[in-house]
Each structure stands twice: as structure tokens, then as C-alpha cells.
Chains A and B, each alone.
Chain A
Amino acid sequence: MRLINRHPGKTGARLLAVLPFIALAVLYLAASAVRHAANPDDKLLPTISQMAAAVNLMAFTQDMATGDYLMLTDTLSSLQRLIEGLVISVGISFIIGIAVGMLPYLRKLCVPFIAAFSMVPPLAILPILFIIAGIGETAKVTLIVIGTAPFMIRDLIMRVEEMPKAQLIKAQTLGASSWQMALRVVVPQMLPRLIDSLRLSLGPAWIYLISAEAIAAQDGLGYRIFLVRRYFAMDVIIPYVIWITLLAFIFDVALRLVQRYAFPWFAGAKSQ
């Protein structure tokens, strides 16, 4: 049988899915064991037990200075910044994207500007943000907004524009005003697409969050890994990176589930 026609069974598929993870873990453990055999004080590739000890210290032991559980505090601060930034970004993008996508006057006014503005590298204007907004929360949240909103706006404008024209004509023949069309035809069809757009923006959002925290913060996941880097504390950095990845992954899965259950029509409509 041709290769393109061969499919793994259910168990086979699961096995294949976990295989790369296991391979990476095995590779790491082997490399770590080799290095520790040569030099018991190796800091580059800490063993599992060293990382577990570090996690225990960071996550399950009160910090002596502040009485906080550091990993928890870091996680909460980071998530707060990330979610604030994304909520603002989604709100702005949704309103602008739909209005611009629907109204020709706004399109002429805004599309070239948005196209130019989205080319500004967000990290390059981080210093400006720090100067204007100080090194507090505002600058970090603003960076996430500036980093993710232009993409989402452009994506939504395109999604609105690619709606079949027949649908809007039909809505008009049923007596819909522009406002009613926005409310009953465009917005409900754009919500699941906004979720797709948001999922794609999660990666960049984390990049901007961690960058901002690395440069100026008193807590946060990004702050912590850049802080302990000074002591070559790979035993803290690696668990933190895994934890950040896991959080991002959970966000992604959650959004996908929301899309599936809140918009049951979407999968069928997309395949037509």
C-alpha cells in the first residue's frame, strides 16, 4: 500500500504522539547522567532530583524574605499581565476589525495605517513604553496589546471581507440595517474566528510578556528565570520553562474547547 494511504490504529496514534516527548526526556536524562558522571557539580544539565528539589523550594516552600510561595506569586503575576493584555487586545481588535471589515469608508481610512503600524517591532518601542508609562504594570500590559492587536485586527478584517457577499445581500433583502447585520450576521460568525486568531496570538503574547518581565519587573515567570540565570540555576529555569509551556498549552486547549462547545455550527460550516 502507498505510504499516504497507511494510517496508524488508535493505540498506534497515541504511541506516536507521546514518542517525541519520551525521546526528548530519555535524551536529556542520558546526557545529564553522562555529564554528572564526569563532573558531579555540573550545573548545565541538572538531574531530575536536583530539579525536584528546586521546584520544592520554589513552589512548596515559603520564601524566607517575603513569606510567599515564589512560583505561585510569579505565576499569578504573569497570568494577570497576560490575561489583562489579551482581554484588552481582543476587545480592541474585535470592535475595530468588524467595523473596518464592514464599512468601506473605515477600510480606506484605517487599512493602510494598520498595515504600517503592525510593522513596528513591538520590542523596539518597549523603551518608549517604559519612559512613558514607567516600569510598572501598564507598560507590560501595553506591550502585549501592541504586540498582538495589529495581527488580530488584520486577521479579523480579512475574515469579515471573505464572508460570502451573498450573505450580506441576503441579510439586506430580509430588511437588516448595517447595525443589525453587524449584530446578527457578522459578529456571531466572527466570534469563533476570533478564537482562532487569539490562539495564534498566544505565542507572541508570551514572548512579549517574558521580554517585558525580563527587563523590568519585581516578580513574574520571566523575571524569575532571568534572575536565576545569574547563578546558572538551570534546575530552576528548566522547570519554569516546562511550566510556562504547560500553561500556554492549557490556554490553547481551553480555547479550542470553548470554540467547539460554544459554536457547534462552526466546524460544519467551515467544512462546507
Chain B
Amino acid sequence: MSSIEIKDVWQIYDGRVVLEKINLNIEQGSFVSIVGPSGCGKTTLLRMLMSEEFCTRGSISLDGEALPAEPTLERGVVFQRYSVFPHLTVLDNVLLPMELKASRWLGKLLGPKRYNAKEEARAMLEHVGLRHAAGFYPAQLSGGMQQRLALAQALMAKPRVLLLDEPFSALDPGTRADIHVLTKRLWEETKMTIVMVTHDISEAFRLGTRVIVLERPASDDPAKGARITHDIPVRPRAKDKKGAA
């Protein structure tokens, strides 16, 4: 059961409180959207979840165990940019997680193993609608396609938790709607826990099962950091969709 427990977490940079006393339990399989104005520390919170930053006070645990001190396989991530590797083709980007797992020293699969892994990677590309682009490099893809690829790549590593850092903010509205559908489908299929940071409130409600609002108090007091001001359940996980998964 991958539940995340954030207990009494503070983040203080040079005497300036960024996050103040954050308490949050995230259940296995939920889709939590974190919204808030820019600079409120929502990305800081996400960075702590991926062990890129560490809290000044408090603790974060995943399934009852303290988070490791570095990024690990069980917490996948999609950033707004630079999420895929520019020197690898679309297919190789999706192949990479399998290669890293199977080949400790070369990080590369050869021969029949590679052939089988390629089949699996192609199936994943098909699933996210990128099969036709398998031979392209990321720079040749549109922003929406790059993010689809980033999702596919992250899913190949089979993470228990997926962290999304404003993943769709740079996309135009039409593309964004498409990728919302995809994200939701993937979430329903994999049943993993997703934590998404966004400044788009409608996106937060459309995708999330729970929306967390982070806000700093109105005064610009450095001794007061952002807190959770609202915790809104959107809807329980739709039971009728279970059959489709």
C-alpha cells in the first residue's frame, strides 16, 4: 500500500519560512492535485517528495518508511520540461528504464532481449498514441507529444507514486484536454498514486480526486510560510470504471 504521510513538515530557507507545518496523508491510489499561487512552495513540496530537497523540520514517509535521501525507482516524475532525453529516439527513451533494470553495467540490452523489450516499448507507445513517432528525437516532437512520451517513459519504470510538476502548463488548451484524458486513463489502469502540482485550478479539479490548496498568509511576513488552507475531496474513485481498467 503506497500511502504517503507528510508529518509536520517545515521548509525554511535562510530564515524565510516557505512551508509551515504541512500535514497531509495521501492514500494509495488517489490523485492529489496541489494548487496555489506561484511562489507558494507547492513545487518545493513536490521536490521534497522526490528527494530533490529536504525538509527543515518534520518527516515524510512512504508506506511507513522514511523517504530515501535520493530519487528512487518507486517515485516516478514528469517535469514541465527536460523530462525526456534529447539524445534518444522516442523508442529508446521508453526502452531506457527496461535497459537500466536489466543491464547493470552496460545499461543497454542487446540481441533477442532487446528485441523483446522493443516490443514492450512499442506497445507502450501505442498506448499513449506515439507509435508512429517511434523513430523521432524529442526535439522533433510537439510539446504535447513530448509530455506523452515523458508519461510513457515514467510508467515503464512502474513507479508506485507518480509526481507531476506542472506537466501540462506549457501546452495549448486543445492538446491539454487530450493529455488530461490520457493521464486519467493511465491513472485508472495502473492504480498508482499521483501527486500533481499545478496552478491551473480547473485542471486540478478535472483530474484530481482531492485538491489541496497551499497559500501564504496575505502579509509578506517571512516568519509565516504557506499552509494548507483547503483540502477538498472531489469525488471517490469511480467504482463503475473499475471494469474498464
Listed in ascending order, the chain A residues whose CB lies under 8 Å from chain B are 164-167, 169-177, 179-180, 183-185, 188-189, 263-266, 268-269, 271-272
Assembled-state Cα–Cα distance A177/B76 (Å):
15
Contact B81 A166 (CB under 8 A): yes
- Chain A nearest CB, measured from B131 CB (Å): 20
Q: Does the CB pair B83–A173 fall under 8 Å?
A: no
In contact, B139 and A173 (Cβ under 8 angstroms)? no
- Determine whether B13 belongs to the interface, using a CB cutoff of 8 Å to chain A: no
How many A-B contacts at CB < 8 Å in the complex?
92
Q: List 10 A-B contacts (CB under 8 A).
A: A166-B83, A172-B72, A173-B71, A173-B72, A174-B76, A176-B107, A189-B85, A265-B137, A268-B140, A272-B139
- Flag if A269 contacts B139 (CB, 8 Å): yes
- A169 x B71 contact (CB < 8 A): yes
For residue B156, which residues in chain A have a CB less than 8 angstroms away from its CB?
Answer: 174
B-chain residues with CB within 8 Å of residue A177 when the two chains form the complex: 100, 104
B159 touching A183 by the CB < 8 A rule?
A: no
In angstroms, Cα B154 to Cα A175, docked, is 11
Question: Does residue B208 face the partner (Cβ distance < 8 Å to A)?
Answer: no
* Min distance, Cβ B150 to any Cβ of chain A, angstroms: 8
Task: Say yes or no: is B96 at the interface (Cβ < 8 Å to chain A).
Answer: yes
- In angstroms, Cα B149 to Cα A174, docked, is 14
Query: Are the CB atoms of B108 and A184 closer together than 8 Å?
Result: yes
Also in contact, A167 and B139, with CB within 8 A (given A176-B107, A183-B106): no
Q: How many residues of B contact A (CB 8 A)?
A: 37
Residues from chain A with Cβ under 8 Å of B71 in the complex: 169, 172-173
User: Chain B nearest CB: distance from A13 CB in Å?
Assistant: 27
Which chain A positions have C-beta within 8 A of B137? 264-265, 268-269
CB distance from A239 to the nearest CB of B (A): 43
The answer to whether A189 and B77 have CB atoms under 8 Å apart is no
For B79, B81, B107, B139, which residue has the most chain A Cβ atoms within 10 angstroms? B107
On whether A173 and B154 interact (CB within 8 A), knowing A263-B87, A264-B137, the answer reads yes
* CB-CB under 8 A for A184 and B83, given A169-B52, A169-B77: no
* Given A264-B137, A269-B137, CB of A170 within 8 Å of CB of B106: no
Q: Tell me whether B79 and A173 are in contact (CB under 8 A).
A: no
